[in-house]
Structure 1
Amino acid sequence: MPGVTQEQISAAKRIRAIDFLLQYRPDDIVPSQCRGEFQLQSHDSFKISGETSLWHWKSRDIGGKSALDYLIHVEGMRFTEAVLLLLEQIPTEVRSAPAPRQMPKPKVFALPEAAADNRRVFAYLLHRGIDRKVISDCIRDGILYESARFHNAVFVGRDESGMPKYAFLRGTLTNTAESFRAEVAGSDKRYSFCLQPEGESRRVAVYEAAIEVLAHLSLEQTRDKYRLSLAGIYAPKEGVKTDTAREKSVALTAFLERHPNVCEIEICTNNDHAGRWAAEHIRKEYEGKYRIIMNLPDREGADYGDLAQEKSKERAVRQRAALSR
């Protein structure tokens, strides 16, 4: 990831969080009960002033004013990536927030232009331990491709009629500590990335991110259930008490409403503090209404992406050893 200049940083810092949210997260920001204040549907303890842009995320006791602060502290983006994203998506006009109870105009969702081929996506996902057939099947089904401009992997979510409604971008540079991640503006989390089963299924497995969906399928090698990305999870820092158990997964709630035949939820979040916190709250929310299967990775701190990558490396070592005999 290239560096950024002080001039670029200054430009990014001038973008207010309220302007960014109204233009690029219109489906998530709604008026709160307090006059002149807004909140996020994904985090009901996040409040932001429509006039000053000052925001406070009560459950994590952090706050700020700029869009740069928001992207780093709320969406978890790295500093350089956040600056570059803001420079690309500077709101077309900096304006005052609309009057309370007036809903902002939604931004039109549009998929990024596709590249001529998917070579970078193949190389990146193979490097991450994803099975070649899994990648090919997703590309064939139109739910994965490579973007033309930045060569990101684009994970597509579709509605019941097959229309794209959601897209998540993942950088394909393998020499960076943390690849670029962002949702396409106007994405509807209700239609997050989801792999369909082969035939009928009454089970949905849920993961924190799209790449973990592909990783677990690569390990299990069977499409016997729905596999749904939650499009991120939101958990307090370890040791912080919070009432955010009310913050439900928009993706899972909407999926279950659309699939009344599903009666089992397999929880496959990461085996770290945030993943275990989310798993426990999903269990509490749906226990009694659904059969709950806890299936977190069996190693502390791991996710299914880690396990798939390790298995791929072990297989490569065995193949090299066999060839050298």
Structure 2
Amino acid sequence: MARKGISKQDLAKVKELDLLSYFLNYEPDELIRYSRNEYGTKTYSSLRMSNGLWTSWANSIGGRSALDFFIKIKNWDFLEAAYHIKDLIENKTPVKVEQPKRVKHQLRLPRRNDNENTVIDYLVNKRCIDKEIINYCIENHLLYEDKNDHSVIFIGYDSHRLARYSSKRATDSDLKQDIYGSDKAYSFSIPNPNSNKLHVFESAID
């Protein structure tokens, strides 16, 4: 029998259920814990949940509620998804997971080396990236060499040309990590004002 609608009160309760709380209460065997505050699932490998939000990197889609997930990722009809969650809540009151809110930290870039010789050698000769591209990035302060360990430091800027993101890639090992305080919303990029195409890569080194 087709559902005709859902009350505002019931819909409010449905929307209140975040995705991590949904999985912990109703599909706990699906969860994979990646860190203290980051979770994924066995079925959806690109799905990540943290800080009360979820993101599906494969689809470039995100949200907060379990309802969003059922509609955007599982492609359920709105009422079908809403009533499914409503029925779950009525049969078993969910225990809400208290998730820490994201705290912004100031980005502190590593000290720059006196030259970029090690970085240039690594990127051009070992990673086979055109030297013209590397020189462009250095001249435009998109990358530099870490004075401490000679790693490549990539930088991402906001619209005011303030550094908001940075990542490190070692030149002598497989070490790769984001610098503390980085905001992924401003990841490393090489803009081209003369093109309307967007090329997306897994990491800056690619």
Task: Give the TM-score band, short-chain normalised.
Answer: 0.5 to 0.7
- Are 1:172 and 2:190 counterparts? no
Counterpart in 1 of 2:113?
A: 115
Q: Residues 185-204 of structure 1: matches in 2 within 5 Å?
A: 185-197=180-192, 199-204=193-198
Displacement of 1:102 after TM fit? 4.8
State the 1:208 CA deviation: 1.1
SS of 2:199's partner is: strand
Q: Which residue of 2 aligns with 1:58?
A: 41
Q: Structure 1 counterpart of 2:191, which letter?
A: Q
Specify the SS of the correspondent of 2:21: coil
Gaps of 5+ in 2: 1-17, 26-30, 46-96
Structure 1: segments with no counterpart, 5+ residues: 1-29, 38-44, 63-98, 213-325
Q: CA RMSD of the aligned region, Å?
A: 3.3
Question: Percent sequence identity over matched residues?
Answer: 26
The alpha-carbon deviation at position 196 of structure 1 amounts to 1.2
Residue in 1 that maps onto 2:48: none
Q: Once the 2 structures are TM-superposed, how far is the Cα of residue 59 of structure 1 from its aligned partner?
A: 2.2
| 1:57 Cα deviation from its structure 2 partner | 3.7
- How far apart in 2 are the matches of 1:139 and 1:54? 35
Flag the 1:181–1:61 CA change in 2: closer, same or farther, 3 A: same
Distance 1:60 1:202, change over 3 A: same
Matched, 1:133 2:127: no
TM-score (ref. length: structure 1): 0.35
Distance, in Å, in 1 between the alignment partners of 2:155 and 2:104 is 19
Q: 1:267-319 deviations in whole A, cap 9, x for unaligned?
A: xxxxxxxxxxxxxxxxxxxxxxxxxxxxxxxxxxxxxxxxxxxxxxxxxxxxx
1:1-325 matched pairs, under 5 angstroms: 32-33=20-21, 47=33, 57-59=40-42, 100=98, 102-127=100-125, 128-173=127-172, 179-197=174-192, 199-212=193-206
* Structure 1 partner of 2:84: none
3-state SS in 2 of match to 1:210: coil
Task: Report the TM-score, using the length of structure 2 for normalisation.
Answer: 0.54
Equivalences, count: 131
Counterparts in 2 of 1:54 and 1:115: CA distance versus 1, 3 Å: closer
Residue 58 of structure 1 deviates from its aligned partner by 2.5
CA distance in 1, matches of 2:103, 2:41: 27
What whole-Å deviation, never above 9, does each CA across 1:236-294 have from its counterpart, x for those lacking one?
xxxxxxxxxxxxxxxxxxxxxxxxxxxxxxxxxxxxxxxxxxxxxxxxxxxxxxxxxxx
Give structure 1 regions of 4+ aligned residues with deviation exceeding 6 angstroms: none
Q: How big is the shift at 1:189?
A: 1.1
Paired residue secondary structure (1:33): helix
In structure 2, relative to structure 1, the CA distance for the partners of 1:164 and 1:58 (3 Å cut) is same
